Amino acid sequence: MTAIALSIAGSDSSAGAGIQADLKTFAALGVYGATVITALTAQNTQSVSAIHDVPPEFIAAQIDAVFSDLDVGAVKIGMVPDAAGIEEIAAGLIRHRARNIVLDPVMVATSGARLLAPDAVDALRSALIRRALVVTPNLHEAAALTGATLARNEQEMEIQAREILTLGARTVLIKGGHAADFDGDESVDLLIGQGEVVRFFARRIPTQNTHGSGCTLSSGIAAGLAKGLDLAEAVRQAKIYVTSAIAAADRLQIGHGPGPLNHFYGSTP
């Protein structure tokens, strides 16, 4: 049986993040990727100039089309710009008994452009987080979800992750690569559920070309889950993949701003 993962996310016209990054990741990791597009963005490596939201009823139609025919083993959810879209996605996940849901609560682009309407944050908390097997916020997203200040160390990261657990998530992977008192040579993420804290770390790569790294990590986790890995192993393998793709990013020369990861680093010069 072919492993299938579904990405529910926005389209990045420069193909560094969003749906395009997810499909590259699925392909690189040997998983067939399906998509539900929630928004179209006009963006490049320097900025997001426009966002066109997909109507909620069309999001629902895409979900129904995919699940009625494909055996989806895991779902990654990324950018959903408004509350109506979030509610439609939640209803679709329930309707089709979706499993292995990875929620990447995308709120702001690397360029600083807001990708999630302020009134949609409450819908994200109430409708999607409790459907997720794992939520994967970075430090800024975790602070926004909990109403806290930016975590400065692993202890504060754990506190915020446990606060997100109270919203109904089964597990939280909080990404802490820029915590103030971390060793500068390490990028550290914490996987926190009801048991022990699992710490994942990798060497920090000196490059500006990290556009789409969060999308890639969450879709990498979904790919692992679709292939039958347990969550901790799916996170471990996704972290290794992302680190390697970042390390090879400077081989690509794309645009004039922060460039994308090298998703196919094993097959490029």
Q: Which two tokens stand for residue 144?
A: 């926004």
Give percent of the chain above pLDDT 90. Answer: 78
pLDDT in the model for residue 131: 95
Given a cut of 90, whether residue 262 has pLDDT beyond it is: yes
- Phi and psi torsions of 262, nearest 5°: -95, 85
Q: Find out whether 203 and 186 touch, Cβ atoms under 8 Å.
A: yes
pLDDT tens profile 75-118: 999 999 899 999 999 999 999 999 999 999 987 655 555 667 77
| Band (269; pLDDT cuts 50, 70, 90) | low
Compute the distance between CA of residue 141 and CA of residue 121 in angstroms, rounded to an integer.
10
- Domain of 42 in residue numbering reads as 4-263
Q: What is the DSSP string of 153-218?
A: SHHHHHHHHHHHHTTT-S-EEEE-TT-TTS-TTEEEEEEESSS--EEEEEEPP--S--BTHHHHHH
pLDDT tens profile 4-18: 999 999 999 999 999
DSSP H or E run through 89: helix 83-95
- Is the residue at 64 inside a domain? yes
Among 65-79, 143-157, 221-235, name the one with the lowest average pLDDT.
143-157
- Is the residue at 269 inside a domain? no
Q: Find out whether 69 and 83 touch, Cβ atoms under 8 Å.
A: no
- Is the residue at 155 inside a domain? yes
- Is the residue at 66 inside a domain? yes
- Is the residue at 246 inside a domain? yes
- What count of residues does the chain have? 269
At 146, which CATH number?
3.40.1190.20
- Is the residue at 87 inside a domain? yes
pLDDT in the model for residue 110: 58
- Is the residue at 201 inside a domain? yes
- Is the residue at 268 inside a domain? no
Q: How many domains does the chain have?
A: 1
Given a cut of 80, whether residue 184 has pLDDT beyond it is: no
Mean of the pLDDT values across residues 151-163? 93
pLDDT in the model for residue 180: 46
Given a cut of 70, whether residue 48 has pLDDT beyond it is: yes
